[in-house]
Amino acid sequence: MDKQVLYDFNLERVVSEVIETNARRVLIQLPNGMKNYIPYIINYLKEKLRGNVELFVSTSHTYGACDIAEDEALRIGADLIVHFGHTPHPLYPKPKVRTLFIEAFINIKPSVNLIDKLVNKLHDLGLSRVGLAASLQYIKYMNYLALELEKRNFTVIVGRNKYENLMYPGQVLGCEYSCILSIENRVDGFIVVSGGKFHQLGASLVTSKPVIGVDPHREEVYDMSSMRDITLRKRYYKIMKAMDAENWGIVLGIKPGQFNYNAYGELINLLNNKGKKYIVFTANEINQHILRNIDTEYIEVFVVIACPRVVIDDLADYPKPVLTLGEAFMALTGRLDKYLFR
């Protein structure tokens, strides 16, 4: 593999799948952070497949495997989607078009510098039994890190996932942290490996144990406690503002792995039981612009039944409360003791 390429795109596997399934038209889908590798991927596949296959690349955002480009694939008549960077989504493991999921693990190992920083942080916080978790690209990196910490006498536990047929031990999604909860009572705190702070923040919202973030790209190690506290304070403020609202706007996301009709039914029952009024919207993309288009004085609070991270991370500054499903249940039932991440 080219030294410049940070990820293992496992292109040999892609070629075998195309040949074995006799695919003639293939749609490639990548997260935004990997799109700069498109020429590398396409040139490799064109060379190996010798012009026998038509290759298309989706420009859609691809935030997760909840957002498989199956409609694009159906429109162009693709017989295979190659989806890089995610494992199948628990709510939508079987897309309408045959899909090959490629993990794209990162090709780096923890440096001595990073391990030293991490060990110092663990000592500072008094953590000796730690749970390890990572987003998909960093699962192998996390396993190397576990070995290094064990060599330094830490007890390391990697939790199993509720969806272990679809996800790796220790793997988290922005919306799925069951591997954290599975070992919460056996550790002093968690280390979560991922680029940025997105997955680390999610982990810190589901557990009250300390969460240390590790960013392999920046070689940074940080305690998530203050970001967690600020985020929870903002979330509770919105939940409490929503508690007296009479008129609700319900936004039902329709992306394949985000569409949750059962949860929608639960919420509607609760709203009816509480005598609340509501208008239901459907949405593919959900952002500030879309909300402003449907917003009126009548609606006092929005609930988004889709990706909870769109609400927590992207819509936090919207002038009216915009709640996740879990937060809506908290507001409607008045049960505020435990933050419901859902």
Min dist CB 174 to ligand SF4, Å, is 3
Using the minimum distance from each CB to ligand SF4, give the nearer residue, 136 or 250: 136
Whether 42 contacts 57, CB under 8 Å: yes
Residues 6+ apart with CB under 8 A from 74: 96, 97
Whether 278 contacts 247, CB under 8 Å: yes
The correct pick among 307, 315, 322, 325 for binding ligand SF4 (CB under 6 A) is 307
Compose the 56-85 pattern: x for residues touching ligand SF4 by CB under 6 A, - for all others: -------xx-x-------------------
Min dist CB 166 to ligand SF4, Å, is 12
Q: Distance of CA 262 to CAs 67, 84, 191, 280, 330, Å? A: 19, 29, 33, 15, 18
Min dist CB 175 to ligand SF4, Å, is 3
Site for ligand SF4 in 99-128 (CB under 6 A): none
Number of H helices, E strands in the chain: 12, 15
Min dist CB 89 to ligand SF4, Å, is 6
The correct pick among 23, 41, 309, 329 for binding ligand SF4 (CB under 6 A) is 309
Q: How many residues bind ligand SF4 (CB under 6 A)?
A: 10
Look up residue 179 and give its two tokens. 């591997």
Using the minimum distance from each CB to ligand SF4, give the nearer residue, 63 or 278: 63
Using the minimum distance from each CB to ligand SF4, give the nearer residue, 28 or 173: 173
Whether 213 contacts 192, CB under 8 Å: yes
Compose the 259-298 pattern: x for residues touching ligand SF4 by CB under 6 A, - for all others: ----------------------------------------
Residues 6+ apart with CB under 8 A from 296: none
Min dist CB 93 to ligand SF4, Å, is 12
Calculate the CA 273 to chain-centre distance: 32
Using the minimum distance from each CB to ligand SF4, give the nearer residue, 11 or 167: 167
Using the rule CB under 6 A, is 258 a contact of ligand SF4? Answer: yes
Min dist CB 308 to ligand SF4, Å, is 7
Min dist CB 198 to ligand SF4, Å, is 8
Look up residue 138 and give its two tokens. 């960093």
Whether 102 contacts 9, CB under 8 Å: yes
User: How many CB atoms neighbour CB 241 within 10 A?
Assistant: 15
Whether 209 contacts 184, CB under 8 Å: yes
Using the minimum distance from each CB to ligand SF4, give the nearer residue, 175 or 340: 175
Site for ligand SF4 in 126-185 (CB under 6 A): 173-175
Calculate the CA 156 to chain-centre distance: 23
What is the H or E stretch that residue 160 is in?
A: none
Binding site for ligand SF4 (CB under 6 A): 63-64, 66, 89, 173-175, 258, 307, 309
